Amino acid sequence: MTQYKVPVLPGDGIGPEIIAEGKKVIDAAGERFGFDVEWIEYPHGADHYLETGELISEETLKELSGYPAIYLGSIGDPRIAPGVLEKGILLTARFYFDQYINLRPIKLLEGVWTPIKDKTAKDIDFVVVRENTEDFYIGIGGRAKKGESKDLLEVKRTLYSAKFGLDIETDSEEIGYQIGLISKEGTKRVIEYAFDLAENRKKHVSSVDKANVLSDIYGFWREEFNAVAAAHQDVTTDFNFVDAITMWFVKNPEWFDVVVTPNMFGDIITDLGAMIQGGLGLAPGGNINPKGTSMFEPIHGSAPKYKGQNKVNPIATIWAGAMLIEQLGEKEAADTIVNAIQKNILEGKVKTYDMGGKNTTSDVGNDIAKILKGE
Amino acid sequence: MTQYKVPVLPGDGIGPEIIAEGKKVIDAAGERFGFDVEWIEYPHGADHYLETGELISEETLKELSGYPAIYLGSIGDPRIAPGVLEKGILLTARFYFDQYINLRPIKLLEGVWTPIKDKTAKDIDFVVVRENTEDFYIGIGGRAKKGESKDLLEVKRTLYSAKFGLDIETDSEEIGYQIGLISKEGTKRVIEYAFDLAENRKKHVSSVDKANVLSDIYGFWREEFNAVAAAHQDVTTDFNFVDAITMWFVKNPEWFDVVVTPNMFGDIITDLGAMIQGGLGLAPGGNINPKGTSMFEPIHGSAPKYKGQNKVNPIATIWAGAMLIEQLGEKEAADTIVNAIQKNILEGKVKTYDMGGKNTTSDVGNDIAKILKGE
Ligand SMILES: CC(C)[C@H](C(=O)O)[C@@H](O)C(=O)O
Ligand SMILES: CC(C)[C@H](C(=O)O)[C@@H](O)C(=O)O
């Protein structure tokens, strides 16, 4: 029997409840497909932070880097200012492990209600490949007060005068600024991943940018995209401005096969994608470093108001679990989990409130585990 | 009879066709409400640029700044690299005239098809107030090659080492970067405008940001939002991360009254907003400087492939025309134009292809003008 060791960070809010169901389902798949997972629990999240002051230490990160895949619940807590936990744990992990691919399938399962008219499972079936280590997520920015950082206040003034030959006085007392950057190899590797993925799908890659306005950063993205596309003549391509693609996700989701996007735009369009595939309760994601440590999670947050109620939908987390074991090499078991999720939905008897049902989180996990075991 | 002078830039692609209908409808409203508009045509756009090399000169901008409102068609042409015309004309005007409010009503008219299930005109009726002169639209960015600009390559390395105490070597050959900034007064004035607007509506303002990740720039935004909110105790508020709000626009548009957003996120969510109100053919926008020169336009682009076909929907432009004359003080005439648009749609006889009809651009303009004149 194959043995795997998988670190698991249940995290905050509903994290522990949904992760429990995810583990249950993977364990059931293991029974059926002949593997066994030893779960190694990590306490990181809000409580741990409030008790110890530690977000996640370099030592822990080093330790985690010994494993191919981590299972993550959800991070975030209303007691702590927005961003502290998300940046201190989730984004830190994505960056530390150099998980440069954030893979988010946008797939409407059969029998799931979508808010979009006239679209069925065959119309909504694409994958978003979100760059996951660069762009505006690098966390570089700051504030400047008048007189304090002349440089940064000058920036705006210079802009106006360079553009218009005017000497507009800014009487700003204070500014906030943020920098995004993308590198040649950081852009190339994620776009290459997207093309490789498309080779095994419908051979179409859509690029997302805003090169008509953020021309420096995304003009660069376009060039890299074109360079990679030139090496994949059998794959068709198109360019989408980020504003426009939000319309097409809603109006013509059937146009898409693989969508590759810089980090921040990827964040935005995958939430919209989650909605068209039936809501956050159904949207899994993988943070992937093909040669290192990957991390799988539902793309929803920690939903603090539902904590401890055994109420929320565990399907996103269970599906993320399927992606995790696929990463470990258990492709057949992974497909079987997704099929079991599909069967649970089609039977329509055991479902949580967001899908119009009255069952608990663990009811759904139990049902999917049962289907898997053929009970 | 009141006399107005209105500069008009029909622009590129379908711009001239839709602007012709917009002028026709405003002229009809003038006949009925006792005002007369002298249209002053400007040639700026792709052809003018290709012929003369001029985008828009400071002289022209100075001249235009003598008028309270400009009527704009659409800018953009496939012969010219993305961004050149958009930045050189459209964004230049927004910045030059300091049109700090980009006002975009998201209103589903009765009888219009929306791609969203179970929502009707009463559910989709809110306004987005997009900041229009700052954020990532300031056009500051660049590229750096290894060794050339040590500073900028160091930025990424420093980030990693500051975060993890690691000395990760980046072997990036090249990077592209972009800077966004918002100022205290630039943020305050647009948020104040949103609260003032909400005072005359349902008294709710929703803020959009990504303060959990782009904390420097949008943490600053949040503080300003909170400061303005404190002075409007009768208005309720909420905060939305930009990723999440794309879901609520689709799932629960009835939650919103006034949405105030930084520039770039505003660009994205208003295209999505346009889609839920029936598509770009129906979405108007105003670039407003309450004490200076404003500019009104459809929010769609120049649709080059439809140019000269008399085919596209002029309603967005006609509606933008209504916003324009409201800005000039002709509130009653403006409301009457919007009612005439509504009547044209409800009668359902004269409509363009995007609304399931077979009529031309000018058929629709003629019909709305006729309704206005009571013919
Ligand atoms: C929680 C937050 C930092 C995160 C992100 O912005 O990436 C989330 O929205 C996501 O999409 O995984
Ligand atoms: C054409 C483009 C520069 C513009 C923008 O990004 O603001 C457009 O998308 C809009 O929303 O008016």
Instruction: Give per-residue pLDDT as tens, B202-240.
Output: 999 999 999 999 999 999 999 999 999 999 999 999 999
pLDDT tens-digit readout, B292-339: 999 999 999 999 999 999 999 999 999 999 999 999 999 999 999 999
| β strands within chain B, DSSP E | 2-11, 35-41, 69-74, 101-107, 125-131, 135-145, 174-183, 204-209, 236-241, 258-261, 284-288, 294-298
Q: Are residues A189 and A245 in the same domain?
A: yes
Binding pocket residue ranges, ligand 2, CB within 6 Å: A 212-213, 243; B 86, 90-91, 267, 299
- Identity of the amino acid at B289: N
pLDDT tens-digit readout, B333-368: 999 999 999 999 999 999 999 999 999 999 999 999
Least confident of A189-198, B142-151, B175-184: B142-151
pLDDT given for residue B175 in this prediction:
81
CA A206-A211-A215 angle, to 5 degrees, is 150
Beta-bridge partner residues of A166? none
Q: Are residues A235 and A133 in the same domain?
A: yes
pLDDT tens-digit readout, B3-17: 999 999 999 999 999
Give yes or no for B120 touching A (CB within 8 A). Answer: no
Q: What is the three-class DSSP state of A278?
A: coil
Q: Place A204 in a pLDDT band, splitting at 50, 70 and 90.
A: very high
pLDDT tens-digit readout, A214-230: 999 999 999 999 999 99
pLDDT given for residue A173 in this prediction:
59
| β strands within chain A, DSSP E | 2-11, 35-41, 69-74, 101-107, 125-131, 135-145, 174-183, 204-209, 236-241, 258-261, 284-288, 294-298
- Give chain A's largest Cα–Cα span: 77
pLDDT given for residue B297 in this prediction:
98
Closest to A182 (Cα-Cα) out of A243, A223, A237 = A223
* Residues in B touching A131 (Cβ below 8 Å): none
Q: What is the three-class DSSP state of A41?
A: strand
* Boundary (domain end) residue, out of B176, B198, B230: B176
Q: Are residues B237 and B303 in the same domain?
A: no
| Mean pLDDT, residues A62-76 | 97
Least confident of A22-31, A52-61, A171-180, A342-351: A171-180
- Integer angstrom CA distances of residue A211 from A115, A221, A241, A244, B82: 30, 8, 7, 13, 7
Share of chain A above pLDDT 70, in %: 92
pLDDT tens-digit readout, A228-256: 999 999 999 999 999 999 999 999 999 99
- Measured in whole angstroms, how far is the alpha carbon of residue A171 from the centre of its chain? 40
pLDDT given for residue B140 in this prediction:
80
* Residues in A touching B163 (Cβ below 8 Å): 92, 95-96, 139
CB within 8 Å of B170: residues ≥ 6 apart: A183, B153, B156, B157, B160
Place of tokens 């432009």: B317
- Strands B258-261 and B174-183 come out as unpaired
Exposed e or buried b per residue across B79-108, where buried means at least 16 C-beta atoms within 10 angstroms of its C-beta = ebebbbbbbbbbbbbbbbbbbbbbbbbbbb
Contact A205, A228 (CB under 8 A): no
Contact A64, A293 (CB under 8 A): yes
Q: Are residues B350 and B361 in the same domain?
A: yes
Average pLDDT value for chain A: 92
**pLDDT of residue A140 exceeding 60:** yes
Residue A356 CA to ligand 2 centre (angstroms): 39
| Cβ within 8 Å, pair A216-B177 | yes
**pLDDT of residue A151 exceeding 70:** no
Contact B81, A212 (CB under 8 A): no
Mark which residues 2-41 of B lie under 8 Å from A by CB: none
- The better pLDDT of the pair A145, B130 is held by B130
* Boundary (domain end) residue, out of A276, A296, A317: A276
Determine the atom of ligand 2 nearest the C-alpha atom of B90. 3
Domain span including residue B338: 1-105+281-374
Determine the atom of ligand 1 nearest the C-alpha atom of A87. 3
- Integer angstrom CA distances of residue B342 from A65, B107, B112, B117, B351: 61, 11, 9, 21, 12
Q: Are residues A22 and A99 in the same domain?
A: yes
pLDDT given for residue A157 in this prediction:
46
Least confident of A177-186, A282-291, B108-117: A177-186
B243 lines ligand 1 (CB under 6 A): yes
Q: Which of B9, B86, B129 to mutate to test the pocket of ligand 2 (most atoms within 8 A of CB)?
A: B86
Nearest ligand, measured from the Cα of B286: 2
pLDDT given for residue B173 in this prediction:
59
DSSP A314-372: -HHHHHHHHHHHHHTT-HHHHHHHHHHHHHHHHH-SS--GGGT----HHHHHHHHHHHH
Q: Are residues B185 and B200 in the same domain?
A: yes
Residue A288 CA to ligand 2 centre (angstroms): 33
Residue nearest to atom 3 of ligand 2 (CA): B86
Give yes or no for B161 touching A (CB within 8 A). Answer: no
Mark which residues 217-276 of B lie under 8 Å from A by CB: 217-221, 242-244, 246-247, 250-251, 264-265, 267-272, 274-276
pLDDT given for residue B100 in this prediction:
97
Least confident of A42-56, A166-180, B188-202: A166-180
Residue B139 CA to ligand 2 centre (angstroms): 13
Determine the atom of ligand 2 nearest the C-alpha atom of B271. 11
Report the 10 Å Cβ neighbour count for B2.
Answer: 12
At A31, list the tokens: 């029974």
A272 lines ligand 1 (CB under 6 A): no
Determine the atom of ligand 1 nearest the C-alpha atom of A266. 11
Give yes or no for A138 touching B (CB within 8 A). Answer: yes
Q: Place A145 in a pLDDT band, splitting at 50, 70 and 90.
A: low
Give yes or no for B283 touching A (CB within 8 A). Answer: no
| Mean pLDDT, residues B34-47 | 98
Exposed e or buried b per residue across B200-227, where buried means at least 16 C-beta atoms within 10 angstroms of its C-beta = eeeebbbbbbbbbbbbbbbbbbbebbee
Q: Place B145 in a pLDDT band, splitting at 50, 70 and 90.
A: low
Residue A267 CA to ligand 1 centre (angstroms): 6
* Boundary (domain end) residue, out of A214, A245, A276: A276
Q: What is the three-class DSSP state of A21?
A: helix
Write the burial class of residue A50 (CB in 10 Å: 0-12 exposed, 13-18 middle, 19+ buried).
Answer: exposed
Determine the atom of ligand 2 nearest the C-alpha atom of B285. 12
Residues in chain A: 375
Closest to B351 (Cα-Cα) out of B311, B316, B309 = B311
Q: Are residues B27 and B80 in the same domain?
A: yes
Mark which residues 59-88 of B lie under 8 Å from A by CB: 61, 82-83, 86-87
- Strands A236-241 and A258-261 come out as unpaired
pLDDT given for residue B185 in this prediction:
87
Nearest ligand, measured from the Cα of B263: 2
Determine the atom of ligand 1 nearest the C-alpha atom of A267. 11
| Mean pLDDT, residues B266-286 | 98
Average pLDDT value for chain B: 92
Place of tokens 């808010």: A115
Q: Place B165 in a pLDDT band, splitting at 50, 70 and 90.
A: very low
Q: Are residues B117 and B196 in the same domain?
A: yes
| Mean pLDDT, residues B270-279 | 98
Q: Are residues B3 and B126 in the same domain?
A: no
Residue B341 CA to ligand 1 centre (angstroms): 41
| Mean pLDDT, residues B248-263 | 98
A334 lines ligand 1 (CB under 6 A): no
Return the half-sphere exposure (C-beta side, CA atoms, 13 A cut-off) of residue A306: 21
Q: Which of A80, A85, A91, A297 to mutate to test the pocket of ligand 1 (most atoms within 8 A of CB)?
A: A91
- Strands A2-11 and A35-41 come out as parallel
* Residues in A touching B137 (Cβ below 8 Å): 213
* Residues in B touching A175 (Cβ below 8 Å): 181-184, 220
Q: Are residues B191 and B83 in the same domain?
A: no
CA distance A255 to chain B (A): 16
CA distance A30 to chain B (A): 35
Give yes or no for B214 touching A (CB within 8 A). Answer: yes
Q: Place A142 in a pLDDT band, splitting at 50, 70 and 90.
A: confident
Segment holding B153, helix H or strand E: helix B150-164
pLDDT given for residue A183 in this prediction:
87
Contact B124, B107 (CB under 8 A): yes
Phi, psi of A359 (to 5 degrees): -85, 165
At B10, list the tokens: 């029909």
Q: Are residues B122 and B269 in the same domain?
A: yes
Closest to A270 (Cα-Cα) out of A107, A94, A112 = A107
Q: What is the three-class DSSP state of B260?
A: strand
| Cβ within 8 Å, pair A214-B243 | no
Domains in chain A, number = 3
| Cβ within 8 Å, pair B246-A269 | yes
> Residue A215's closest chain B neighbor by CA?
B83
| Mean pLDDT, residues A13-18 | 98
pLDDT tens-digit readout, A18-48: 999 999 999 999 999 999 999 999 999 999 9
Least confident of A267-276, A341-350, B167-176: B167-176
Q: Are residues B228 and B333 in the same domain?
A: no
CA torsion B128-B131-B135-B138 (nearest 10°) is 120
**pLDDT of residue B167 exceeding 70:** no
Q: How far apart are CA B22 and CA B34, in angstroms?
A: 18
| Cβ within 8 Å, pair B184-A178 | no
Residue A57: give its domain's CATH number: 3.40.718.10
pLDDT given for residue A149 in this prediction:
44
CB within 8 Å of B174: residues ≥ 6 apart: A183, A184, A220, B143, B144, B145, B146
Contact A72, A262 (CB under 8 A): no
Exposed e or buried b per residue across B159-180, where buried means at least 16 C-beta atoms within 10 angstroms of its C-beta = bbeebeeeeeebebebbbbbbb
- Strands B69-74 and A2-11 come out as unpaired
Residue A210 CA to ligand 2 centre (angstroms): 9
Give yes or no for B100 touching A (CB within 8 A). Answer: no
Beta-bridge partner residues of A294? A69
Give yes or no for B163 touching A (CB within 8 A). Answer: yes
